[in-house]
Every structure is written in C-alpha cells, then in structure tokens.
Structure 1
Amino acid sequence: MPSILQVALDTPLDRLFDYRLPEGLGTVLPGSLVEVPFGRTHQVGVALGQSADSAIGADKLRDVIRVLDDRPALSPDTLRLAQFCADYYHYPLGAILLATLPPRLKNATPFVADTPWLMLTEAGQTAAPPGRAKTQRALLDSLRATPLTRASVREQKQGRHAAALVAAGWAAWTRTPPQAARTPQTAAAHPTTPEQQTALDRLLPALSRFGVHLIHGVTGSGKTELYLRLIDAVLENGRQTLVLIPEIALTPQLEQHFRRRFPGRRIITLHSGLAEGARTANWLAAPDCDVLLGTRLSVFAPLPRLGLIVVDEEHDASFKQQDGLRYSARDVAVARGKLAKAPVVLGSATPSLESYAQALNGRYQLIELKTRAITAARLPDIELVDLKHIPVDNGLTRPTLTALTDTLARGEQSLVFLNRRGYAPALYCPSCAWVSPCPSCSARLVFHRHARRLKCHHCGLETRIPIECPSCGNPDLKALGQGTQRLEETLAALLPAARIRRIDRDTMRPRAWAALGEAVHGGEIDILVGTQMLAKGHDFPNMTLALILDTDGA
C-alpha cells in the first residue's frame, strides 16, 4: 500500500514535498488539504498523489499530522487550472493552489462551516410528531412550505424545537437553501434591438462548446442585456455561470440587476472586500450556486457545472494581479473555459489591443454593437478646454464652473474626475526647488492634508510632514498641484449649496459601495469627485455632466 504522500506547499520552491502517511489515515484523495510539519512550523498543503517510495531517506521523512476533512478537497478542475498557471506563469504549483483558497481555509484550526438554513430531510417529509408536540408539528409544516434561516428560527424563539427536529433526523442545517422544486422564472426583459438579436443569433448556438467571443459595443449598446440572455440560456440547461468584473465597486449594482432578472436563483459574490467569514461561506457555496459574480480571484472558484464565463470590461488593468502570482484573470478565464469546454464572452467598449487582434485574426469571434440600445440616447458632446489661455483655480476653469452651476440648477448630477488622490501630488520648496521624494523608491510622496502625512502611492511608505525643507531649511513649503482632497475643498468653497462626495481609496471601503449607489440614485448627491474608481461602468441615470481634469496626466 502506498505510504508516501506528495504535498504541494505555499513556498517559493517549485517542487512537491514527500511525507510519510501514517497507517490510520488511509487513502488520501488528490486535492485534499493536509496539515504537515515544515521546518519549525506547521503548514497547510494540498495532497497531489501517493507513492510506495521516496527519493528522500526514510530517516528524514516526517509524518503527515492530519488530513483536514472538515473542509472540501480541491476539485480536479481546479488542480488542472492551477497546473496550467504554474506552467504558463512559471510559478510554484503549491503557491498557486493555496492562493485559490479563502484565508480561513488555509488555517489548520478546526473549521466549522456556517449552516444558516434549516431544511427538511427525506424522513421529515412524512414525519408525524406526537400530538402534544404542537410547536414541533407547526415548525415541520413551515419547513414543508419553505426552508427557514437561523435568524428567523431565533426570532420565532423556536431554537429548542429546531434542535429537537434535527436530533430526530427530520431536519438538518445546511450552508445553502435547497434548489426550488420547479425552475425559477426569469423576469421579463426588454425587447432586443436588431444588433442585439443578430449577436444572440451568433452566440446562442455556440453555448454548447468552447470558444472565445469578443463583444465590442459602445457604451449603452446593451452588452449587459446580452450577458443576461446568455446566462438565462445556460441556467435553463442546469449549468453555472461565472461573471468576472474588474472592481469590487461594481458588485452591488450588478448583483441587484442579476437578482431582479433571476429571482429564486442562487447568486453569490466573491471578492476580497468580503469579511473573512462571508468570503469563506460564499466559496463553500460556489459549487451549488447558479451565478457567481466576482473579481479576479473568482476565476479559481469551484464550479463543477460551469457552462459560461463572462469577463466584463475585459480591457481593465484590474484583472491583472500585480504581486505574488502575476496572472491575468482574463487569460486564465480563457484557459478555464477551454478546460471546461465552456464558452467565454469578453465584453468592452474599448477592447484591449491583444483581444482585438485575436478577434481580427479569427481566433476570437468578433461581435460589434455600434448603436445605443435606447433610441433616444446619443453619444455625449465632448468639449476640449485648452488651459494655456484660460485662468485656472486649483484645476478648475470658468467654463467648467459654469457647466457645474448649470447642471446643479437643472437638478442633475455631475462627475468630476481627477486620477490623483490625496491633497497634492507633492510638497514643494520655492527656495531650492526641493520636491518630496520617496526614500524607498523613485516616486514622490503625496501630501494627504487630512491625515497630516506624506504617503507614497507606489510602495506604501508613510512619513510625517517636515516642518521645514530638508534641503535648505525653508519653513514655507507649498502643496504642488491638485489631488481629489484639494479639488473637493475647492468645489465646496465655490459651490457651497452643492452636496459633494469624494470617492477614492482613502474614503471608500468595499461595503460602502451599496450605500453610495443608493445615495446617488436617491438624489442625495449633486457632485461626485473621484479617481479611476468612478470610471468603471457605473449606472447613474441622472448624471449628465462629466468633467475630466488634467487629461494629459490622467
């Protein structure tokens, strides 16, 4: 019987590690998570195979501590995708495999999955509690109609009776609600435009096989509607859909849109902004979901019935991981689609050069949407303001202020875009021309007035603001240029009646995006000031003016 277990660990070494498998552990399936000693510590690794012998001497082999059977093993599909990434990106397989897991599952501490749903077992369908157990009987009747959440059981003060049903084998707590007995109905959709129908006529027959389809559609042409109709067709066949988006900020808006269109379907989100418990619960629920909506890390989520992958805004640089495993989620999505024999749909109004080239040479199918879906909608008028001959007040000119004032008077909303957070890009000494450099890299330290700090947006270094110039001792240091903090301050002084909200990495947290969307749609904000976070496909119908400041540096 094989007694050597080959384990992949999160190390910079591109190799597997041999461990002796104690007799009591038996056969360990590939993909199982195990706890093993490594140096002076213990690590969680992924078992990839067993063998009868090892090149390592028997006296140097160490025993596997335990198999972590309190969490699911990685699927064969995930193992194959990780192997592709290891070969393609020349990165250690163990580091890739562990990176696919939520942080909680990489911790060897015993894990108990959250089970928020109480549902009947097969025995409970025909169970008949004693006549005196009226509350248990009522609870059973309720469960026969619909599963209950742990919160609702607690609110109804039926926890003791639920425990009795579980002990009797008539009910059980589960991670996800059971699938509806009948297929949930898809909400009614708007009629398609001729361009959309032509696109669907080409895409729908291709859903049964792998292929990459690039939808090049102008803003407002109805790319999302195409996604929804394709997803509907996939769900009708009992398959799953993975939808990748570039920013956490887009998750609440798209999730609401999907839930309205597919009521009753299991739709989950997965991104780094979720709390650790929620992220783990959603990862565990992924195999049973219908639609998974998430950022780049979702490309590795366990989806055994994968039937379609959609990559929205495929050109966006956010799909590229910049540290550790430097992968492109778009490219990995194409590889996963090929492994799963599932089609991949890439969508963008401004496709990346590489994707567009692949479409032109025939490797991808090119689908173009050249007109907007709403007949009355038209492309915006664009006016370029030359700053060489116009006075500028902290980045704002008279034409821009006039446009903001007019938009405010009409009760409409405006967006002011400046791709530079902080108060000013640097501190400047007018005496010796010293400009605050970062001592750790080649960038400049950015002045953050509210935090009273200088911060490097490249390497993350922070330091206090000097009381005088480090070069010549001049105490009169100046803020050089404009950032979003300074722009917000200037707008508040010039337009005191306007309700202004600044959106950048300093002000926003992942859970704040849903509240922001409600505030914008509810008319509680007049002017949004922000960085590239605001240029990611948000749907703000009453926003009629966009000002892009310092376009040369954007």
Structure 2
Amino acid sequence: MTDSHQKSLFADEVPWEAADQSDRWSAEIVFDLPVDQSFHYLVPDALREQLQAGQRVRVPFGQGNRRIVGFCVATGPPPSLSKRMKWVEAIVDLAPLVTPGMLQLTRWIGEHYLCSWGTVLHAVVPAGVKKNAGTRMARVYFLGDSDRLAADVASLTKKQEAVLDVIKNAKQPPTQGQILEAVGCGPSPVKTLERRKLIASKLVRTSTSRYDSPVAAQVTDLELNQDQKDAVTAICQVLESRKHETILLHGVTGSGKTEVYIQAIREVISYGRQAIVLVPEISLTPQTIRRFRSRFDTVAVLHSHLSDAERHWHWQQIAAGRVSVVVGARSAVFAPTPHLGLIVIDEEHETSFKQETTPRYHAREVARQRCELEQVPLVLGSATPTLESWQRVQDGEDQLVSMPRRVVGLPLPPVVLVDIRNDPRIGKGAAIGRALDHAIRQAIEDDGQVILFLNLRGFSPVFWCRACGESVTCPNCDVTLTWHRDKAAAMCHSCEYTCDPPSQCPACGDAGIRHVGVGTQRLEAEVKARYPEWNCLRMDSDSMRGRGSHDEALEKFRSGEVQILLGTQMIAKGLDFPNVTLVGVIAADTMLHQPDMRASERTFQLIAQVAGRTGRSERGGRVLVQTAMPAEPSIQFAAKHDYIGFTTQELSQRRAIRVPPYRRLARVIVRGPVEPDVVAQITAMAAVLRDHSQRLGIDNDVMILGPAPAPLTRLKTFYRYHLQISAETPEAIRTLWRNALPDFLDAKDIEFTIDVDPLNMR
C-alpha cells in the first residue's frame, strides 16, 4: 500500500469534542504507518498521571475503530478542534521506552529520511524490549509512612521488625519471596505491615535471567606513538569543551586507530559518562569484542545474534547506567545511554551502516545528529573514508586527524598488480594464476600464512549456455543463478529461490550448460586440490552460520592450525594476524562492472582494506592483486596506497557530473507485479514531481532524473522502476516530496518508497 493511499484512508482520524475542554488532557500519538502526521486522543483521568511521552498506548483507530498500538510523543491540553475525539484505552508500558532526547532524534530521522515518526520509533526500539522478553511482573516492597512507622515501632513483633530491616537495607526494593527467604517466615508479617501502611508495594517488571558479559583478563593500555597521542589529544580537547564536533580519524591500516578509541573512551568514562562504538556487523568478531572487554569492566555488545531476552536485558542495563561502553552494529546508535559522552564509528566507509528498509537511515548521519543534540564528540575512523566525509573536512565542517604511519614504524605492504588476461591457468578456468600460486607456496614454506579474498560466494556464479550464449536466471528475479556444489543446487542470492541445477538451457533447449566463474566454494576446492599438504578454511555467509563459528574459525587461523584463510568481505577488515605474510585478491575488478557511481570508490576501499591484513609484524608481507583491468585508476591508486590521489581524481569527476558529495540525492523506487502498471505509475509520479518543482520555483535547482528501469528490474516477482531527485540541499528534496506526495495517484498493487542519500543503486 502506498503512502498516499494510507493517507487518504485516515485523513479524517482527528475528531474532537466540541464541549468545554478546560479540564481535558490529551495525548499526541504516532503510529507505525506510512502517514506523515500525528493524532490526538483524550486521556481518561485514571491514566492522566501515569501517561508520559515515550510510552505506548492502545487506541481505537480508523473508521472501524480497530485497536492498534502507537507511541505517545507528547501530552497536554487538547488543541481546539471541532470534531469528537476518541479516548486512550490503555497504557501498554509501565515506563517510557524512549527518552525525550530519543524522541527528538527519531523525529529528526522521520523528517530527514521522509518516513513517519511512528515507523522510526517502532524500528529503533528492539522487539525484545517492546514485548518485555525475559521478564515477569513482580510485587516489590518499600517503606511506607515514616511518621506512622516512628509511632508504631514499639508495637512490632520481632519478625515484623526483621521484615522492615530487610526492606530498609536492600539496595533495590525486594520481592515478597526475597523478604520471606531472608527472614525465614510466612507472608503474615508482610501482609500485616502493609495493612497498617508501614510498608507499601507496587508491581514492577523484573528480569527472569541474567546475561552478564564474559569476564576477560584485563590488560593495561598500550604505549602510544606520536600520531596516536596527537589523535587522543584532539578528541580529549573536544570532550573538555563540552561541545559537539565531528573528528575524521584518517589512519592507514595498522596505524592503531582502535587503541586511540580505547584511550579516548577511558577519558570519557573518567568523567562518569558512557561511549558507543559502532562497527560493521562483519567486524563484530570475537577479536574485536575481546579487545574492548579486556580494557573495560562493563561492556555491552549488541548484534544480530542476540535473543530477544538478551537484547532486552542489555537494553535495561544500558538505560540504568550500568554499562560504560556499548559496542554494536548499526542499530546500536540508538542505545539508551543516559550519560552519553562519545560516539565512535569505526570503518565509517562501510555500506552496512545504511539501513536498506524503512526507515532508511544512515547510522553515521544519525550519530552526527545525536551527538549534536547531546553536545558530545563524534569520531569517524577509517583508512579509506567516504568521499562525503572527506569533502566535509575540505569544507571546514569537520576536523581531520591523520595517522599516516603504522605502529612501531612498520611499512605498508607492497602491492603487485597481476594482469591475468594472458595467464594460461586463468584462461582454463582456474582461480589462482601462476604468480599467485608461486607466492602462496613461498609464503607458507617460509612458515607464513595466507589470506585469499574473493567477494563472490557459491561455487560458480553463472550457468551459461554454449549454444545460444544465454545465462540461466532466477524465475523471480533478473539475477543469474549461482551453483552451490555442496548443496547440489542452483540458488538465487536475491530471493533464495533454489532448484536442481539445469541440465539444458531454458532458452534454446541445448544440453551444453556450463558453470562459469569462480565463487568461494570453487576457490576452496581448488586450494585443497592444489595444496593438499596445507590446511585451508573458508569464511563466508554459507560456511559461518553456526553460533560461535566465526570465533572457532579465527582461532584455528590464529593458532596456526590453518595456513590458508579464504573468504568474502568478512575477512577483508578488522583482522590482525601478525603471521600473515601474503594477501591475494582473486578478482579485483568485480565491483567495477556494477552500474553504480560509487563502483570505483568501493573497489579502491576493498583493495586497500584487504591489503591491510598483512605486513603487521616485523616479518613484513606483500599483496598480489589479480585483475583484468590493471590500468583502472582506482586499482592503480590502491596499489600505491594513495588515498589522497584517488580522492582528488574521483572528487573532480564527481563535481563534473554533479553527483554526491556535491549534490544531494533521493531515489524513488516503484514496484508491482505488472510491468505496464509500474511504468504508468512512475511516469505519473515523475510528472507530478516536475510540476510541483515548477510551482515551488525550485526547478532550476532540483533535477528529476528518469524514470527508468532499475538495474535489477525484476526482484522477487516484482517489476522495479526508479527515478532520482537531485538537488543542492536536502531541504529542497524534502520540500518537493512533501508537497507532491498528496497528488500521487493510487494504483492497485503498486508500492513505492523513497530512499534519501541512497547507497544501494541496484
């Protein structure tokens, strides 16, 4: 259902009572619906003292008065409107789930990313928190009327006195069971004291389990080199100023950025404040987690593998101020820290910080806004910062701190580009060419270890017909099927469609179907066949599904049990193994073939990051990059470790074609099961947007690009078309969209969404 269709359904949902409202109280409610407005409900007197902003309420909604749950975002006297108001029926939560500051932040997200406030609130509060996972209701006791207690103390029995002592000395209000166990009595003394109002009780929600973090052996801080000291000093100066500033920490791989984060966080904790550290999900390795837990006593780790009960328990501990450091992926930016002092985003260039479903926020921009609201520093760390972050430094909006040298003076590893176009082994279908084969043997014979990087999983990424030249695609998507030999199946990596491998071409019926290309499974098979005397381990999303599988795999590599580690992006960053003396990039140019303006930037980042996995000890190391496009500038600059040279050239090209970071972009995607209907809908939307840009007088600034078929035109049985809105400022895009939205026509079975500052252009 589209935004406009939902809006027309509920446009009359704000009825009000015409009678005297001087003694009435109302609540402003937002819902998890694509409706860009809030609604007001009267609050019964019995709930007036209990209801606070940040709690959820159950209310009647719509013409049929169906009951739904929404977030209360404000309370106060009702506005003066004419129609009959509806009433809040119940409060769902005992206490607010979000603070006033988080309400302010989520409202900004809704406005900036053009989605409803209620949808944002629903997304940022974890499901386990909303359903109180791992908790139960319990009655707790505390001291009652102090005057009555002083007057009646002489008439108490010994057991009643003991009950009072337990309650008085407890750190937290105890339950009846805890009191009875401590005193060794039945419930009668408790009931008598409560009846005489010497004690009182209330219902609270308590955890049924504890999920304490594993205790790690504490280690002392490392000695910093001069670059690291300068970086920590810069961060601490902003901390002491109690003002917000964003610091871009540009440090080459192995320069010791994590140690800078740790020592800056130690300073934050000394002020009695908390820190949030965001890392890409793939970097939430046991190695990273252990490093923080070995330095700080109370560390909460938030990641996708937590159960609802675990996530709820950690959320409560963070909100109570019992956690000093929160380490997590994208959504940890919403951790309910009451005393926030610093946010750090490591590997800030990672695309996983952008949410790909509504609300389509970028954690970096949300962190920037949160830090500005709370007047604390934001530190962005990367060896290959995004061009957007780099341009902000050039414009003087953010502060740059450089760490151009590796710790203890180790040099960056030399990178050798290997042109595989004339390599006979590659021509026969092998993944490892002659030069890389020789380098692997030499590295391991010298007691080193090897990392091989390939960003394609499966055995072969293409089924190809020799007769007609067609590839075999998914019946639901415009995606070629990938051969997974371990499952004896052909799979679509977009919709998870699975079938038996085709024995003949669906297009021409010929039986000459071949598996073309190399994925991580095929690379693993080749490595095991070519080097049977050495142990090999594959790390990708297919092989690392089990709980603890990452930790087990990396420990085998660390201990030397495994000599060759191969895999996808999960091994490209964040790993520190001093014995790795060779990194091989199997196919450096796979990303360059994508229809994406950021293809060159991502290619440079990947090569630079994976190259940083070697040369981290006095043993040194080197990198071999296999490519069929050795003259490509992004590959050339990566081989030279020349970030400045790459950004200078790339920014010049971006400026010439007027794309980010010099323009702001929003992408509108329309999808539906019938292609002509999708085309008609997006064509009409483009016309409405162009018409409104002229009416608003912003047509000289705003450009409507398209519509056109999306690069991935068919996905999960839906046809997809898109258009782009380009403007100098995000305000222009927001103004145009909000004005045009009511005029979009409804179309049956057609859905549309808008992605502000998109990263995924497929």
Aligned to 2:510: 474
Does structure 2 retain, via aligned residues, the 8 Å contact 1:244–1:294? yes
Q: Distance in 2 between matches of 1:271 and 1:99?
A: 15
Give deviations 1:508-545, integer Å, cap 9, x for gaps.
Answer: 23643232332222223221111112112212222221
Which residue does 2:308 correspond to in 1?
A: 276
Question: What's 1:155 paired with?
Answer: none
1:182 maps to: none
Checking the alignment, whether the CA contact within 8 Å between 1:114 and 1:281 is kept in structure 2 is no
Deviation digits for residues 412-446 of structure 1 (CA, Å, limit 9, x no counterpart): 32111111111111111111112012343433222
Partner of 2:20: none
Task: Give the match for residue 521 of structure 2.
Answer: 485
Q: Give the superposition deviation at 1:70.
A: 4.1
Match of 1:152 in 2: none
Tell me, in whole angstroms, the C-alpha distance in 1 between the residues paired with 2:411 and 2:569.
Answer: 24
Q: Which residue of 2 aligns with 1:445?
A: 481
Contact 1:33-1:44 within 8 A present in 2 as well: yes
Please, which runs of 5 or more residues in structure 2 have no aligned partner? 1-22, 144-157, 173-177, 191-198, 592-762
The Cα offsets for residues 93-126 of structure 1, whole Å up to 9 and x where unpaired, read as 000011011112344xx655389xxxxx99xxxx
User: Matches of 1:430 and 1:413 in 2, distance apart?
Assistant: 39
After superposition, give the CA deviation of every residue in 1:24-64 in whole Å (9 maximum; x if it has no partner).
Answer: 22231111122334467644321012343675843xx5543
CA distance in 2, matches of 1:464, 1:285: 49
1:10 Cα deviation from its structure 2 partner: 0.7
Cα distance change, pair 25–163 in 1 and its aligned pair in 2 (3 A):
farther
State which drifts further: 265-274 or 400-409.
400-409
Equivalent residue, structure 1, for 2:266:
232
Q: Which residue of structure 2 aligns with residue 118 of structure 1?
A: none
Larger mean Cα displacement after TM superposition, 279-288 or 204-213: 279-288
- State TM-score, norm by structure 2: 0.62
Matched residue type, 2:290? Q
Give the AA of the match of 1:320: K
Native 8 Å contact 1:503 1:528 kept in 2? yes
Conservation of the 8 A alpha-carbon contact between 2:26 and 2:78: yes
Which residue number in structure 2 is paired with residue 530 of structure 1? Answer: 567
Equivalent position of 2:371 in the other structure:
337
1:513 alignment counterpart: 550
Equivalent residue letter for 1:437: T
* 1:44 partnered with 2:69: yes
Tell me what 2:634 maps to: none
TM-score, structure 1 normalization: 0.83
The answer to whether the Cα contact below 8 Å between 2:490 and 2:500 also exists between their aligned partners in 1 is: yes
Partner of residue 382 from structure 2, selected from 317, 339, 348: 348
Amino acid at match of 1:215: L
Q: 1:97 aligns to what?
A: 121
- Distance in 1 (CA, whole Å) between partners of 2:251 and 2:553 is 27
- The number of aligned residues is 508
Give the superposition deviation at 1:21: 2.9
Counterpart pick for 2:227 among 178, 195, 198: 195
Aligned equivalents of 1:164, 1:406: Cα separation in 2: 73
Supply the distance in 2 between the matched residues of 1:367 and 1:356 (Cα, whole angstroms).
11
Structure 1: state its 5+ residue gaps: 116-120, 123-130, 148-157, 180-184
Contact 1:209/1:343 (CA < 8 Å) preserved in 2?
yes
Matches within 5 A, 1:108-507: 113=135, 161=181, 187-207=219-239, 208-262=242-296, 265-287=297-319, 288=321, 289-375=323-409, 377-391=410-424, 392=426, 393-507=429-543
Deviates more, 1:273-282 or 1:44-53: 44-53
Asked if the contact 2:460/2:516 (under 8 Å) is kept, the reply is yes
Q: In 2, are the aligned partners of 1:250 and 1:536 still within 8 Å (CA)?
A: no
- Larger-Rg structure: 2
Structure 2 contact 284–329 (Cα < 8 Å) conserved: no
The answer to whether the 8 A contact 1:249-1:513 is kept is no
The counterpart of 1:21, out of the listed 14, 20, 43, is: 43
Looking at structure 1, the residues matched to 121 and 378 of structure 2 have their Cα atoms a distance apart, in angstroms, of 23
Instruction: Quote the Cα distance in structure 1 between the aligned partners of 2:114 and 2:99.
Output: 22
Equivalent AA in structure 2 for residue 194 of structure 1: Q
| Per-residue deviation, 1:242 | 0.6
Provide the residue aligned with 2:53 in structure 1. Answer: 30
Q: 1:379 to 1:524 in 2, by over 3 A?
A: same
Counterpart Cα distance in 2 of 1:162 and 1:373: 56
Partner-residue secondary structure (3-state), 1:282: helix
Runs of 4+ in 1 over 6 A off after TM superposition: 162-169, 172-177
Asked whether 1:550 is paired with 2:587, we answer: yes
Task: Give 1:80's aligned residue.
Answer: 104
**Identity rate, percent:** 35
* 3-state SS in 1 of match to 2:93: coil
Q: Contact 2:134 / 2:309 at 8 angstroms: preserved in 1?
A: no
